[in-house]
Amino acid sequence: MERTGFKAQLVRGLLLGVLGCSALGPVAASAQDLQTLTFVQGSDIDTLDPAVSRSVPSYNVLDHLFNRLVNWEGQERDHVVPDLALSWTRSDDGRQWTFTLRQGVKFHDGTDFDAQAVKFNLDRIRDARLGSPHRSYYTDIVSVEALAPDQVRITTANPSPTMLELLAKPSSSISSPAAVARYGRAYGHHPVGTGPYQFERWIPNDHTVIVRNPDFFGTPGKPEKLVFRPVREDSSRVIELRTRNADVAADLSPEAAIELKALNKSDLLRVPSTFQVFFELNLTRPPFDDVRMRQAVNMAIDRDALVNKVLLGYGKVPTSPFPEGTQARRTFAPVKYDPAAARQLIEQVYPGGFPGTVVMWTPAGRYTKDRQVAEVVQGYLNAVGLKTEFKVWEWATYQKSLYRPEPGKGTGKGSNDADMWLLGTGISDADIRLRRKLVTGDPQNLTGYSNPEVDSLLQQAARELDEHKRMGFYGQIQQILWEKDPNSLPLFDQEQIIGLRKGMKGLAVDYEGTIDFKNAQLN
């Protein structure tokens, strides 16, 4: 899934160290020389085209390859800092933004970064032919003008208080126009940016390699090479870490965390997260087209048991559609576990019980104990009288099945083959987090959710230049989702569990799930 900025320095913990080697080269570097850093995660990247990608495994790579005009800095997301743009101004009416760009920056293919490159990228993502799932965020842009090689102006149809937030998104990363033209639809396998690392190779479902960019305009990365490997099974990721076939392992289970703590031979990180895991519901057909059925399944789930017994305390019971650290967050009373009330609601809607089968989908290895969590939820639904069918997917295939292409509209409105599907999002930006899931007809609105009041509030927020008022609109939407008209079933607020080679320091973890390896080194 996708993110914006939010960094937390890694803290010291616990872990192991047995000398080993990788088929891709020496992983076990000396204390003085970390030449290659190998990272294992639960699933593979989906694409390396930032305009199209939507997953944290991909962002782990993309953030090292690309720059954006601006970026967020600080845990509180309280200010935006320059990246490829040195400075910017906004017109009084909020409809024009003018950016002054860095000069002398080169793409990895040797071509120049300039205002024309910015225009090319923003025009590209707004073009329906690309099929970007992020296209709807950019539709208010009327024009992008290259005023000079180092100056670009963006004009919007309405006041745009969220422009800087939009330009800090991974989808706003700046690609080489020459590379996009050269590779066409295959560009996602041949990415070219301006970042501290440049692309070497991607062998799907095996490994991705990026190497330090010797001509980077900023501070160079410390490791010479970064290797990203998908390792689906949690136990296998632990073994890779313990044998030093990997230096860092993400997406670890609570059981793995307990094991690593007991060994006391590796460093273990527990990082707060804006990531919430939930079941989305197909609202276009029975049974979840009726809000009472959504309310019923919400009450059928014992989230305290889910967090404490399945996740072993490595997570939190949701008290909001927004986890901690999310912009404009409001909190409410947790959803009460009440299976008797759930059965009564189901009986109201379907006297004698729902006659059909609820089809449940889940990935395996993408979220903390995702398959086990989904199976437990299945048990709760069965307990209130719903008949269910369960299907497990590999992550890349899962995404393709959920986001089906629609000509002229991008990646689709969701699957018609499932009634509920497990997903998570760590997006900390309120507008983007809500808009992508709730706006009627949005390409990323997989559920078919449509609420005129919510659409109106989002529209007002998108045009409101007063920050306090804008946050208030987002708060109202959260209340609607939590108390009246849910679009999904929040299950738990996820805690990131990361293992790393003992003595490693300098990493930074994004609260939305992405890891920055540029400053990684060993004591």
List residues bridging with 281 in a β-sheet.
Answer: 420
Tens digits of residue pLDDT in 235-265: 899 999 988 899 999 988 888 888 888 877 7
Q: Where residue 335 falls among pLDDT bands split at 50, 70, 90? A: very high
pLDDT of amino acid 206: 96
pLDDT of amino acid 275: 85
Question: What integer best gives the mean pLDDT of the chain?
Answer: 88
The two three-digit tokens of residue 93, written as one number: 């009416």
pLDDT of amino acid 367: 83
Tens digits of residue pLDDT in 272-285: 788 899 999 999 89
Residue 183: half-sphere exposure toward Cβ, Cα within 13 Å: 16
Element (H, E) at 481: helix 467-483
Largest CA distance in the chain: 71
pLDDT of amino acid 404: 65
pLDDT above 70 (res 500) = yes
Q: Say how far apart CA 508 and CA 511 lie, in whole Å.
A: 10
Q: Which has the closest alpha carbon to 366: 326, 402, 393?
A: 393
pLDDT of amino acid 48: 97
Yes or no: say if 388 and 381 are a contact pair by the CB < 8 Å rule. Answer: yes
DSSP 3-state assignment of 498? strand
DSSP structure class, residue 32 = T
Structural domains in the chain, CATH included, are 7-65+195-272+496-522 (3.40.190.10), 70-176 (3.90.76.10), 276-494 (3.10.105.10)
Q: What would the mean pLDDT of 128-148 be, rounded to a whole number? A: 93
The two three-digit tokens of residue 92, written as one number: 């009084």
Report the Cα–Cα distance between both ends of the chain, in Å, rounded: 33
Yes or no: say if 281 and 331 are a contact pair by the CB < 8 Å rule. Answer: no
Q: Which has the closest alpha carbon to 162: 412, 513, 480, 427?
A: 427
Q: Which has the closest alpha carbon to 486: 255, 250, 279, 199?
A: 279
Tens digits of residue pLDDT in 7-52: 333 332 323 332 223 333 334 444 444 799 999 998 899 999 999 9
Q: What would the mean pLDDT of 74-97 be, rounded to a whole number? A: 86
pLDDT of amino acid 23: 35
List residues bridging with 81 in a β-sheet.
Answer: 71
pLDDT of amino acid 78: 58
Count of Cβ atoms closer than 10 Å to residue 195 Cβ: 27
Q: What would the mean pLDDT of 485-490 be, rounded to a whole number? A: 96
pLDDT of amino acid 74: 57
pLDDT of amino acid 99: 98
Tens digits of residue pLDDT in 356-408: 999 999 998 788 889 999 999 999 999 999 999 999 998 878 887 887 655 44
pLDDT above 50 (res 156) = yes
Yes or no: say if 249 and 238 are a contact pair by the CB < 8 Å rule. Answer: yes
Share of the chain above pLDDT 70, in %: 90
Tens digits of residue pLDDT in 414-457: 556 899 999 988 888 888 889 878 999 887 788 989 999 999 99
pLDDT of amino acid 405: 57
Higher pLDDT, 413 or 292: 292
pLDDT of amino acid 34: 75
pLDDT of amino acid 258: 86
Higher pLDDT, 33 or 187: 187
Please report the DSSP string for 450-463 in residue order.
--HHHHHHHHHHHH
Q: Which has the closest alpha carbon to 67: 217, 214, 193, 197?
A: 193
pLDDT of amino acid 274: 84
pLDDT of amino acid 482: 97
